[in-house]
């Protein structure tokens, strides 16, 4: 059963916190959420100072107590939500092998890497062919990282021994005649090796 902190505070980003409203849920800017929290704490402090029998708190005391209460609430909510996030991650990955963890984290690119490691010859110079924008996505870098040194995509050599075709429309058309297709991962991804 999810706790209060699971749906309330922590998204691994400095800019947003998740606040669940109804069934759909929404994301509000963190400053708006803390502004609402500060207002509620300020109202509570003012009401407490008015009903205190011995002496009324000065405005300075109310302001100081409000700032301290808001700071304490922010710290406690962040600690609770980060602890919940970490607990969820540990439970999710505890009994998995390294390959299963990478597959869960990286998905299709890592499954393609496992496929490519079987299909390509050892220590071949490769060339990555893709329709993905390397400036906006991590997938080409994931391929380069996990394939190295088995397939060296970092050298960007002209005489590549193997072609790593990943997420390319009509991938067969991007394979030159002097290469042969040795494996098809899906309709947009394949492996080709230079003919000898």
What three-state secondary structure class fits 167? coil
Supply angle C-alpha 163, 120, 148, rounded to 5.
80
Backbone angles phi, psi at 185, to 5 degrees: -80, -50
The dihedral sign for the CA sequence 114, 118, 123, 129: negative
Query: Taking 50 as the threshold, does the pLDDT of residue 139 lie above it?
Result: yes
Q: Which pLDDT score, from 0 to 100, does residue 57 have?
A: 65
Whether the per-residue pLDDT at 85 is higher than 50: the answer is yes
pTM (whole model) above 0.75: no
Residue 54: what pLDDT?
54
């Amino acid at each position: 059963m999810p706790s209060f902190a699971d749906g309330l505070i922590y998204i691994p980003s400095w800019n947003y916190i998740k606040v669940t409203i109804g069934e759909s849920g929404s994301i509000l800017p963190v400053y708006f959420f803390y502004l609402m929290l500060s207002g509620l704490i300020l109202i509570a402090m003012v009401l407490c100072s008015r009903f205190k029998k011995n002496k009324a708190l000065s405005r300075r005391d109310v302001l100081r107590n409000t700032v301290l209460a808001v700071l304490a609430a922010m710290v406690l909510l962040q600690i609770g939500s980060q602890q919940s996030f970490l607990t969820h991650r540990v439970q999710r990955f505890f009994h998995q092998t390294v390959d299963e963890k990478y597959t869960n984290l990286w998905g299709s690119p890592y499954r393609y890497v496992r496929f490519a490691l079987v299909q390509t010859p050892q220590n071949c110079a490769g060339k990555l062919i893709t329709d993905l924008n390397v400036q906006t996505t991590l997938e080409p870098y994931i391929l380069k990282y996990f394939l190295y040194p088995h397939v060296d995509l970092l050298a960007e050599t002209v005489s590549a021994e193997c072609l790593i075709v990943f997420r390319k429309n009509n991938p067969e058309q991007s394979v030159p005649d002097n290469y042969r297709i040795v494996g098809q991962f899906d309709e947009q991804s394949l492996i080709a090796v230079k003919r000898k």
